[in-house]
Structure 1
Amino acid sequence: MELNPHDLIRIYNQDDLLTDASLPEWAVSALVHAPYAVVRRAPSKNGLIPVGIRGSKKNERLPAWLISSVVYEVISPEMLVSPLQWKIKQHELNPSILSLKSITPILNQEKLYWGPTGSTAFELATGIKTLTEESDLDLVLRYNNPLPVAEGLSLLDKLNKEAGVRLDIQLETPLGGVSLAEYVNSTTVLVKTLTGPMIVDRKTLWSKLDHVMTFKQ
């Protein structure tokens, strides 16, 4: 089974989650209402999947580990591009979701591997209200090959002009995730790797390293 950061995994039994301490009350409640965890960026260990549990508040986030043999359903950001996968009512669309609909033709025309993440993805996948009127739209773009800076800058400009909310776009590379805005504006970038954040020259994001991730395509 291949998993990537930002994938959502449906949890069928809270006992399948391993944490350093007992689940806090907010986490238990969150899993009852929306039994999902998100794959986080960390090395797997002993067959366990690194995941995160989210509550209704921004400070309610908990790292955990999930037994891989009990995974029954995975929802990737790419799957949530299609409204057919959404578990929300069309007449209750938040500005972030309306912006997602507006920019979808641009990204599909570019033939990219992409999808919504964060609160937008969680609400679309679960039907649980998590977005506010002020929420950003989080996106991930996956690139196994180097993205020309000029091409990235042009794409970012098109998306910002079309979206009605602030965009937070992460460019996923074999080395890790980096802000698209930072990538197109700076030769050195902060990249989130499996082992932690590091500052690198943007040209090294596609270096062929033994331990880096590649993406399903």
Structure 2
Amino acid sequence: MRVCAAPPFAADAPRVEQARWRAHDLLRLARLAPVPDEPAWVRGAFARAPFAVVRRAQAAAGFVAAGVRGTARSERFGTWIDVQDIESSISPESLLAVEPVAQRASLPAFVALAALRDSADLLNAFAWGPTGSAGFELAAQVPTISETSDLDLLIRMPERCDAAPIEALFEALTHAAQHARTRIDAQIETPSGGVALAELAARKPSVLVRASDGARLVADPWIPG
């Protein structure tokens, strides 16, 4: 997040792992509690689309770490949601059943998503779905992506996957991106946290894992940290 609010709970309050909501889930909110030093754009963004994206950070009981999106790439605000203000949640994989409005379906990110959804046998072995701008637009039903937007994907791999299928998956996504004239940025969700598919496909000796307690380099992301 570009900017993050101070937690509304004591610094020494016990932090808990939230099992009900996972990173990249979209939360529809009944209200967004104002916080000190909140950027000026936040209220307008929330009025336009009353959603927040679950982020990777631990919170005290009764709160969820989430982020609010504005209309510009620089407008990202990390905040803390009272669970009582959550009306519903949407996972990335559930968004595969949602179509963009007809006049926006020809945008490159949506073209790539449609092609993957309809024909990607490699992907269909996993739970997966769009995140980022494309996922937000599908969930909130407000224009969010542009002609130059990447397609961000989350692919869940709770079990270890061999190098060959990972490399084949990376090649398939690269081909789909080139055909749609966009870029696909895929993140693999492992027991340790999120890892870029590109790093796994490169067979690096260690990869950067993003988890709720921070980012770290690990040799094997399928061994929980």
Measured against the shorter chain, the TM-score band is 0.7 to 0.9
Matched, 1:206 2:222: yes
Query: What aligned pairs does 1:1-217 form with structure 2 within 5 A after superposition?
Result: 2-15=20-33, 19=35, 21-82=36-97, 85-86=98-99, 88-93=100-105, 94-104=107-117, 105-106=119-120, 110-163=124-177, 164=180, 165-185=182-202, 186-201=204-219, 203=220, 205-209=221-225
Identity of aligned residues (%): 34
CA RMSD of aligned residues (A): 1.6
Q: Secondary structure at the match of 2:30?
A: coil
Tell me how far apart the structure 1 counterparts of residues 83 and 61 of structure 2 sit (CA, whole Å): 10
Runs ≥4 residues deviating over 6 A: none
SS in 2 for 1:14: coil
Number of positions where the alignment pairs a residue of Structure 1 with one of Structure 2: 201
Query: How far, CA to CA, are the matches of 2:147 and 2:23 in structure 1?
Result: 26
SS of corresponding position for 2:60: coil
Aligned partners of 2:126 and 2:156 also within 8 Å? yes
Check conservation: 2:32, 2:85, Cα contact below 8 A: no
Note the residue ranges of structure 1 that are not aligned, 5 or more in a row.
210-217
Secondary structure in structure 2 of the residue aligned to 1:192? strand
Shift of 1:200: 1.4
The alpha-carbon distance between structure 1 residues 141 and 51, as it changes in their structure 2 partners (threshold 3 A), is same
- For the 8 Å contact 2:163–2:201, the answer to whether it is kept is yes
SS of the residue 2:73 aligns to: coil
TM (norm. structure 2) is 0.84
In the aligned structure 1, how far is the partner of 2:102 from the partner of 2:141?
11
Comparing 123-132 with 104-113, greater Cα deviation is found at: 104-113
